A = this chain, B = another copy of it.
Amino acid sequence: MSKRYTACILIIGNEVLSGRTQDANLGFLATSLNDLGIQVSEARVIRDDRQIIADAVNETRRRDDYVLTTGGIGPTHDDITSESIALAFGLPYVRNAEAEAILRAYYKPEDITEERLSMADMPEGAVLIDNPVSRAPGFQIENVFVLPGVPRIMRDMFQGMAHRLTGGTPMLSRSITAELPEGELAAPLGVLQNRFPDVEMGSYPFFQGGTLGANLVLRSFDAALLAEAAVAVAAMVRDLGGEPTDAEQDQGVLS
């Protein structure tokens, strides 16, 4: 079996924790990383606090192959991610010459302020992550990748740095929706889980229009095994009097 790769995502920002802003980055990052063969082991939303950020980075960078952070790298006083990363690694927090040059080339001379230049302050040795949208770069230190919180900018920057990530076999998945209560699915699904130990079977209930149902999600690194398990789960749903629907439009019908 090839090596499995994992990543942790640290979403930095009081705004998400206050409930005022819905995070819009986890879904994109998790899907993109999975496509690269990297499973997200955990996502953590943490406060704008230097020690909390540093502790979370140190805990997760030793455990996971990659850590990606979002948020807190702008020019305002509450943007403290970069110095917190320096704190985590015990590295000097210095002005990065390449980043400064990028900012000086982008802004008109009269618009260059100390606050804008502060976006070039990074841990010593940082490797830049290009920002094709608003220029201020992110950076990488060892296995930690520091990205902004604005989804549109974060996504473009992630695409530009994705080649730096080494992954394994991507986890494949199939999703089968059953308009049956989980209580009816539970026993036969458990039997199938035992029959297919290398296919992870998850049941995610929903409640819509007064109907209880479940999305049955099958995941495996083995495409043939996954297809076989999907057929078996679909047959199980039919046996229970349900009509299985395949949520993966691009993966053909269940037959």
Contact surface of A with B, Cβ cutoff 8 Å:
13-23, 26-32, 34, 39-48, 52, 74-79, 107, 111, 113-116, 118, 133-134, 148-150, 152-153, 171, 173, 175, 182-187, 189-190, 193, 200-207, 212, 214-215, 217, 219
Contacts of A115 in B (CB 8 A): 183, 186-187, 190
Of chain B, the residue at the smallest CB distance from A153 is B207
A153 CA to B206 CA in the complex, in Å? 9
A101 CA to B32 CA in the complex, in Å? 46
A205 CA to B28 CA in the complex, in Å? 19
| Interface contact A190-B76, CB-CB below 8 Å | yes
A19 partner, pick from B13, B30, B52, B74, beta carbons under 8 A: B30
A77 partner, pick from B74, B148, B189, beta carbons under 8 A: B189
User: Mostly helix, strand, loop or mixed at chain A's interface?
Assistant: mixed
| Interface contact A28-B19, CB-CB below 8 Å | yes
| Interface contact B113-A183, CB-CB below 8 Å | yes
Contacts of A16 in B (CB 8 A): 26, 43
Q: How far is the CB of A75 from chain B (nearest CB, A)?
A: 4
| Interface contact B44-A45, CB-CB below 8 Å | yes
A77 CA to B74 CA in the complex, in Å? 45
Of chain B, the residue at the smallest CB distance from A191 is B77
| Interface contact A203-B28, CB-CB below 8 Å | no
Of chain B, the residue at the smallest CB distance from A21 is B204
| Interface contact B14-A200, CB-CB below 8 Å | yes
Determine how many copies of this chain the complex contains.
2
Of chain B, the residue at the smallest CB distance from A193 is B77
Of chain B, the residue at the smallest CB distance from A44 is B44
| Interface contact A17-B46, CB-CB below 8 Å | no
Of chain B, the residue at the smallest CB distance from A30 is B19
Taking A187-B115, A190-B115 as contacts, is the C-beta distance between A34 and B18 under 8 angstroms?
yes
Contacts of A39 in B (CB 8 A): 17
Q: How far is the CB of A192 from chain B (nearest CB, A)?
A: 9
A30 partner, pick from B18, B34, B43, B149, beta carbons under 8 A: B18
Contacts of A47 in B (CB 8 A): 41-42
Of chain B, the residue at the smallest CB distance from A49 is B41
Contacts of A118 in B (CB 8 A): 186
Contacts of A193 in B (CB 8 A): 77-78
A201 CA to B133 CA in the complex, in Å? 26
Contacts of A79 in B (CB 8 A): 203
Q: How far is the CB of A132 from chain B (nearest CB, A)?
A: 12
* Interface CB pairs A-B, < 8 A, 26: A13-B202, A13-B204, A14-B219, A15-B204, A16-B43, A18-B217, A19-B27, A19-B34, A22-B27, A23-B23, A23-B26, A42-B47, A42-B52, A43-B44, A48-B202, A74-B203, A76-B182, A76-B203, A76-B214, A77-B193, A79-B203, A107-B183, A113-B184, A114-B187, A115-B183, A115-B190
